Amino acid sequence: MNTPRTISFRIDSEKVAALDAIAKAMDRDRSYLLNEAVEGYLSEQQRFAAMVEEGLRASEKGELIDDEEVGGMIDSWIGDARIKEKQVRARA
């Protein structure tokens, strides 16, 4: 396990107040919240970098998707979201 290190950075006082309010509501300290936020940020950035790398490898192999196919994928996602929204409303 890595030894924790202390760092400092500038942050708006409003954000500090918001962190403190959330920390109090969660019965945690500010450090806990900041560590959780940094962990989530790093995880997301690593995931994104891996996806970019995967896309570059696919591109090098000529495995590309044209704009019409991408548009169709997006349209299907929007349609799926609308169907789910209607299902949720029907249950309410």
Q: Which residue has the higher pLDDT, 83 or 57?
A: 57
CA atoms within 13 A on the CB side of 41: 6
Indicate the pTM of the whole model.
Answer: 0.67
At 63, list the tokens: 């495995």
Q: Where are the domains of the chain?
A: 9-61, 65-92
**Cα end-to-end distance, the chain, whole Å:** 48
Q: How far is CA 7 from the centre of its chain?
A: 24
Q: Which residue has the higher pLDDT, 75 or 44?
A: 44
- pLDDT tens column, 19-35: 999 999 999 999 999 99
Instruction: Give the pLDDT band of residue 2 (cuts 50, 70, 90).
Output: confident
Instruction: Give the pLDDT band of residue 90 (cuts 50, 70, 90).
Output: confident
At 7, list the tokens: 């760092």
Contact, 62 vs 51, CB < 8 A? no
pLDDT at 47 over 70: yes
The pLDDT value recorded for residue 1 is 66
Contact, 86 vs 92, CB < 8 A? no
